[in-house]
């Protein structure tokens, strides 16, 4: 005889190694609160349609709240023989209430139960992530006033390209994290359907009120197809993909700032409390936190891959493979959460090394494109202007000077269209401030964007 809740048709107990192999309590116990939330809604629905009495429903709901209290206080002993969090809670309920407890699982399978639990859990994490991402955006925006006077080189191919206001960089990250927030919100919308009542895979012969549980749990509606919803983990692939992109954004930011902290760049100083030292080299101050943010992105990207591979080739409907979904989703969430717990303070407290930035801002001909566009405004065809400025850059390189160091007659020898107002455009800050298109890195444009972000995030 088997002691299992499902043991009726079994004539021998489960092999001990199999119990260890199949358990998920070691990683799904964090679903306890949403499991209780789902079960209480289910019990209320059962009472609403008359499958249990109002009194039985009250007993079940009260006992479930008590059991959750025990779990939160660490008083529940987890056993692999009870497989997962769902069985632990149900068996604790039956221990307390006997036959009344035995009624809770009426019209329900662990398949629609676990599908509901993960949705509730992921929905909560999406809401928490949205708050964290907004905090990160606010950290970038909080630098706005402080850094608006700084011009930084913009790079392409990691070669100096055109100058931009420093705050243009900060707001670029706000845009990326906004898309991340939008993606999560979109995922939340699509996943917000209630599996309860799909039961094992086919629905139920009982008069379950699926609308009731869906509304009680704040889902938009009950899911329309029981086969689909009990097997659907699309939202976890979407969720972890959105998280992978957050991790990629964090990793790119971390890499940029790691570079900026090198002696070679010297743009940025991290506060001591966000850095670590070396066990042998006394002078070292290493950006380990940023490196780990970059490194941990691997776990998140891997988790999203894990889900795609897990789902690939699964027939309808529930297959036990799906139990592994939680490992990937939780790893992705925990990792991104840990990065988002440290990132905003680093963003807010790192200091731009203005002296160092200014000392080298005139290197690399950041104003060359502005000079070419000046010529275009004088009627010079773009390709001709490009050629002319290329020649002037080569000339300057040979002489070891800047474009702004060339005298008017020297400029006019190569570029006859140049007038003496050219000096209002040459030099990195002038070239930056000559940028006027919407969304550009010119200081006036950036100030406008900053004002909009402040409103948007308030
Ligand atoms: N622990 C299982 C999981 O996470 C719960 C569902 C089990 N269903 C089943 N038919 N064995 O997927």
Q: Is the pLDDT of residue 416 over 80?
A: yes
Q: In the predicted model, what is the mean pLDDT of residues 60-88? A: 98
Closest residue by Cα to atom 11, ligand 1, is 320
The model's pLDDT over 166-191, given as tens digits with 9 standing for 90+, comes to 999 999 999 999 999 999 999 999 99
The pairs formed by 144-152 with CB atoms below 8 angstroms and a separation of 24 or more are: 144/170, 144/450, 144/453, 144/454, 147/352, 148/443, 148/446, 148/447, 148/450, 150/352, 150/354, 150/357, 151/357, 151/361, 151/428, 151/429, 151/432, 152/267, 152/357, 152/361
Closest residue by Cα to atom 3, ligand 1, is 323
The pLDDT score that the predictor gives to residue 246 is 98
Quote the CA–CA distance of 415 and 392 in Å, as a whole number. 9
What's the whole-model pTM score?
0.96
**Which is catalytic among the residues 2, 221, 278, 338?**
278
**Which is catalytic among the residues 11, 157, 279, 458?**
157
Q: Is the pLDDT of residue 1 over 60?
A: no
Residue 278 bears catalytic tag: yes
Angle at 382 between CA 378 and CA 383, to 5 degrees: 135
Give CATH for domain 111-147+157-211+218-254+271-349. Answer: 1.20.200.10
111 lines ligand 1 (CB under 6 A): yes
The pLDDT score that the predictor gives to residue 90 is 98
Quote the CA–CA distance of 171 and 351 in Å, as a whole number. 17
The pLDDT score that the predictor gives to residue 266 is 97
24 lines ligand 1 (CB under 6 A): yes
110 lines ligand 1 (CB under 6 A): yes
The pLDDT score that the predictor gives to residue 2 is 73
* Closest ligand 1 atom to Cα of 200: 10
Quote the CA–CA distance of 453 and 135 in Å, as a whole number. 13
Q: What percent of the chain has pLDDT over 90?
A: 98
Q: How many CB atoms lie within 10 A of CB 118?
A: 24
Q: Is the pLDDT of residue 106 over 80?
A: yes
3 state DSSP class of 373: helix
The pLDDT score that the predictor gives to residue 3 is 79
**Domain segments of the chain as ranges:** 7-106, 111-147+157-211+218-254+271-349, 362-457
The pLDDT score that the predictor gives to residue 307 is 98
The model's pLDDT over 269-328, given as tens digits with 9 standing for 90+, comes to 999 999 999 999 999 999 999 999 999 999 999 999 999 999 999 999 999 999 999 999
* Closest ligand 1 atom to Cα of 83: 1
Quote the CA–CA distance of 66 and 180 in Å, as a whole number. 38
Average pLDDT score over the chain = 97
3 state DSSP class of 286: strand
CATH topology of domain 362-457: Ribonucleotide Reductase Protein R1; domain 1 (1.10.40)
The pick from 320, 322, 327, 329 for probing ligand 1's pocket by mutation, whose C-beta has the most ligand atoms within 8 angstroms, reads 320
Q: How far apart are the CA of 195 and the centre of ligand 1, in A?
A: 14
The model's pLDDT over 122-164, given as tens digits with 9 standing for 90+, comes to 999 999 999 999 999 999 999 999 999 999 999 999 999 999 9
Residue 157 bears catalytic tag: yes
The pLDDT score that the predictor gives to residue 37 is 98
Q: In the predicted model, what is the mean pLDDT of residues 51-65? A: 98
The pLDDT score that the predictor gives to residue 5 is 86
What is the per-residue DSSP string for 151-188?
EEEEEETTEEEEEEEHHHHHHHHHHHHHHHHHHHHHHH
323 lines ligand 1 (CB under 6 A): yes
Quote the CA–CA distance of 217 and 37 in Å, as a whole number. 8
Closest residue by Cα to atom 1, ligand 1, is 84
Class level of CATH domain 7-106: mainly alpha
The model's pLDDT over 308-317, given as tens digits with 9 standing for 90+, comes to 999 999 999 9
The DSSP bridge pattern shows strands 193-194 and 151-156 to be: unpaired
């Amino acid at each position: 005889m088997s002691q299992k809740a499902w043991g009726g048709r079994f004539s021998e107990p489960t092999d001990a190694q199999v119990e260890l192999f199949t358990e998920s309590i070691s990683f799904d116990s964090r679903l306890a609160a949403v499991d209780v939330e789902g079960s209480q809604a289910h019990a209320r629905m059962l009472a609403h349609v008359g499958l249990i009495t109002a009194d039985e429903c009250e007993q079940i709901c009260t006992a479930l709240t008590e059991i959750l209290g025990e779990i939160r206080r660490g008083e529940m002993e987890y056993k692999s023989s009870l497989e997962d969090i769902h069985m632990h809670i149900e068996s604790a309920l039956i221990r307390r209430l006997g036959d009344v407890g035995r009624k809770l699982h009426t019209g329900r399978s662990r398949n629609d139960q676990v599908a509901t639990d993960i949705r509730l859990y992921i929905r909560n994490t999406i809401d928490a992530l949205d708050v964290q991402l907004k905090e990160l955006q606010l950290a970038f925006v909080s630098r706005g006033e402080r850094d608006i006077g700084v011009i930084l080189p913009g790079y392409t191919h990691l070669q100096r390209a055109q100058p931009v206001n420093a705050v243009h960089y900060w707001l670029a990250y706000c845009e990326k994290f906004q898309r991340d927030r939008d993606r999560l919100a979109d995922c939340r919308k699509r996943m917000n359907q209630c599996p309860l009542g799909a039961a094992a895979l086919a629905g139920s012969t009982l008069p379950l009120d699926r609308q009731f549980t869906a509304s009680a749990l704040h889902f938009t509606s009950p899911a329309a197809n029981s086969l689909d919803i009990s097997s659907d983990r699309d939202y976890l692939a979407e969720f972890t993909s959105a998280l992978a992109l957050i991790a990629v954004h964090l990793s790119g930011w971390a890499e940029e700032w790691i570079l900026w902290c090198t002696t070679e760049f010297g743009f940025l100083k991290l506060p001591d409390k966000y850095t670590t030292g070396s066990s042998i080299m006394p002078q070292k101050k290493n950006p380990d936190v940023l490196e780990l943010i970059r490194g941990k992105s691997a776990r998140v990207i891997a988790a999203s891959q894990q889900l795609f591979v897990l789902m690939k080739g699964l027939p309808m409907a529930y297959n036990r493979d799906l139990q592994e979904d939680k490992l990937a989703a939780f790893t992705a969430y925990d990792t991104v959460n840990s990065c988002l717990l440290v990132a905003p303070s680093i963003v807010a407290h790192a200091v731009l090394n203005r002296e160092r930035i200014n000392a080298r801002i005139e290197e690399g001909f950041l104003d060359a494109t502005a000079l070419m566009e000046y010529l275009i405004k004088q009627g010079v065809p773009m390709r001709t202007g490009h050629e002319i400025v290329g020649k002037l850059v080569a000339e300057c390189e040979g002489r070891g000077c800047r474009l702004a160091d060339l005298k008017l007659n020297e400029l006019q020898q190569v570029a006859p269209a140049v007038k003496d107002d050219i000096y209002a455009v040459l030099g990195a800050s002038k070239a930056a401030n000559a940028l006027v298109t919407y969304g550009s890195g010119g200081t006036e444009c950036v100030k406008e964007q900053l004002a909009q972000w402040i409103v948007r995030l308030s």
